[in-house]
Structure 1
Amino acid sequence: MSESALALKLRTAVETRDKLGQLLKLPAPPSSADAQALDFTSNDYLSLARSPELRRLFLERVQTAPQIFGSGGSRLIINPQEHTALEARLAKFFNAPDALVVSSGFDANVAFFSHIPQRGDIIIHDEFIHASIYDGMRSSRAHLLVPFAHNNLTEFRRALRETVEGNPGVAEGTTSVFLVVESVYSMDGSIAPLQLMSDTLEEELPKGNGHLVVDEAHATGVYGPQGRGIVAMCGLEDKCLARLHTFGKALSSTGAVLLSNPLIRKYLAGHGRAFMFTTAPNHTTILSVDCAIDVLESSTGARLQAQLLDTSTYLTTMLRTRLADIPQHIICLPTDLYRPISNNVETLPVTTLPTAIISILTQGAWELSAYLAKRGIIAKPVVFPAVPKDKSRVRLSVNADKTREGADRLINAVIDWAREVEAVYMTSNSADRYARL
Structure 2
Amino acid sequence: MPRNFQEILGKRMQEGTFRSLKTRSEGVDFYSNDYLGFARNKELQDILLKEVMKHPHFLSGSSGSRLISGNTDTVTVIENDIAQKHRFLSALLFPSGYNANLALFSTLPDRHDVILVDEQIHRSVHDGCTLSNARKLKWKHNDLKDLENLLKKQASHCYIAIESLYSMEGDFAPIQEIAALAEQYEADLIVDEAHVLGVLGYGLVDKHQLQNQVLAAVMTYGKALGAHGAAILCNDTVKSYLINFASPFIYTTSAQDFQWMAIKAGYEFLDHNKELSKKLQENIKLFRDQNLRSPSSEISPVQAILMEDNEQLKALQAHLYDHGFLTSAIYSPTVKKGTERLRICLHSFNTEDEIVKLTALIKEFI
TM-score by shorter chain over 0.5: yes
5+ residue gaps, structure 1 = 168-174, 321-331, 342-353, 419-437
- Which of 379, 392, 399 is 2:327 aligned to? 379
Deviation at 1:96, TM superposition (A): 0.7
Write the distance in 2 (CA, Å) between the matches of 1:130 and 1:368.
26
The aligned runs of 1:263-274 (5 Å cut-off) are 263-274=237-248
Tell whether the 8 Å contact from 2:183 to 2:213 is kept in structure 1 after alignment. no
Write the distance in 2 (CA, Å) between the matches of 1:417 and 1:122.
44
Write the distance in 1 (CA, Å) between the matches of 2:188 and 2:217.
11
Is the deviation greater in 152-161 or in 236-245?
152-161
For 1:357, the equivalent position in structure 2 comes to: 302
For 1:312, the equivalent position in structure 2 comes to: 284
For 1:329, the equivalent position in structure 2 comes to: none
> Over aligned residues, Cα RMSD in angstroms?
1.5
The aligned runs of 1:170-181 (5 Å cut-off) are 175-181=156-162
Check if 1:333 corresponds to 2:278.
Answer: no
For 2:189, the equivalent position in structure 1 comes to: 212
Residues 18 and 124 (structure 1 numbering): CA distance in 2 closer, same or farther, change over 3 Å?
same
Identity over aligned pairs, percent: 30
For 2:8, the equivalent position in structure 1 comes to: 13
Deviation at 1:53, TM superposition (A): 2.5
Q: If you compute each CA radius of gyration, which structure gives the higher value, 1 or 2?
A: 1
- Which of 41, 65, 76 is 1:74 aligned to? 65
Deviation at 1:66, TM superposition (A): 5.7
Check if 1:62 corresponds to 2:52.
Answer: yes
Spell out, residue by residue over 1:216-248, the C-alpha distance to the aligned partner (whole angstroms, 9 max, x if none): 01111111xxx2001111111121100000111
Give the residue type in structure 2 aligned to 1:285. Q
Give the residue type in structure 1 aligned to 2:143. N
For 1:30, the equivalent position in structure 2 comes to: 24
Give the residue type in structure 1 aligned to 2:160. L
The aligned runs of 1:74-223 (5 Å cut-off) are 74-78=65-69, 79-142=71-134, 144-163=135-154, 167=155, 175-203=156-184, 205=185, 209-223=186-200
Deviation at 1:196, TM superposition (A): 0.8
Write the distance in 1 (CA, Å) between the matches of 2:107 and 2:224.
28
Deviation at 1:405, TM superposition (A): 1.8
- Which of 221, 233, 239 is 1:247 aligned to? 221
5+ residue gaps, structure 2 = none
Deviation at 1:286, TM superposition (A): 1.3
Residue 344 of structure 2 aligns to a residue whose secondary structure is strand
Give the residue type in structure 2 aligned to 1:67. H
Deviation at 1:95, TM superposition (A): 0.9
Provide the aligned length of Structure 1 versus Structure 2.
361
Residue 118 of structure 1 aligns to a residue whose secondary structure is coil
Q: Which runs of 4+ in 1 moved over 4 A?
A: none
Deviation at 1:118, TM superposition (A): 2.5
Tell whether the 8 Å contact from 1:371 to 1:417 is kept in structure 2 after alignment. no
Spell out, residue by residue over 1:8-42, the C-alpha distance to the aligned partner (whole angstroms, 9 max, x if none): 81111111101111112222x135xx1xx211111
Tell whether the 8 Å contact from 1:62 to 1:287 is kept in structure 2 after alignment. no
